[in-house]
Amino acid sequence: MTTIVLIVHLLIALALVGVILLQRSEGGALGIGGGGFGGLMTGRSSANLLTRTTAFLAAGFVATSLLLAILAGYSRAPQSILDQPAPATTAPTAPQEPAEPSAPLAD
């Protein structure tokens, strides 16, 4: 389960980076998207779409981050001797001796 959530988390992170790079920056220096999608959408509608997509991906990123943190807490093994339960103590027993010595049988 952790592996699946981690893969989804990485895919969301890559999509988030891509969507952020497509947005037009305020200074005009870093926006890869430039002037929109080639007439497919107007500048305002593409900005709305990219803003909503960014918000959706950010919410998914936060949700998968929290889920991964919760899953990591469940699979954690004790790291310290103090975290482990004390071993059960038993009274020492006397060594047992064989009941009767055995000898090889003759053919």
pLDDT by position in tens, the chain (length 107) = 889 999 999 999 999 999 999 887 665 555 555 554 554 555 566 678 888 999 999 999 999 999 999 988 876 666 677 766 777 777 667 777 766 767 777 66
Q: Report whether 3 contacts 64 (CB < 8 A).
A: no
CA torsion, ordered 32, 34, 37, 40, to nearest 10 deg: 170
Q: Provide the terminal-to-terminal Cα distance of the chain, rounded to the nearest Å.
A: 66
CA-to-CA distance for 59 and 79, rounded, in angstroms?
33
- Residue 79 CA to residue 56 CA, distance in Å, equals 37
Model pLDDT, residue 43: 56
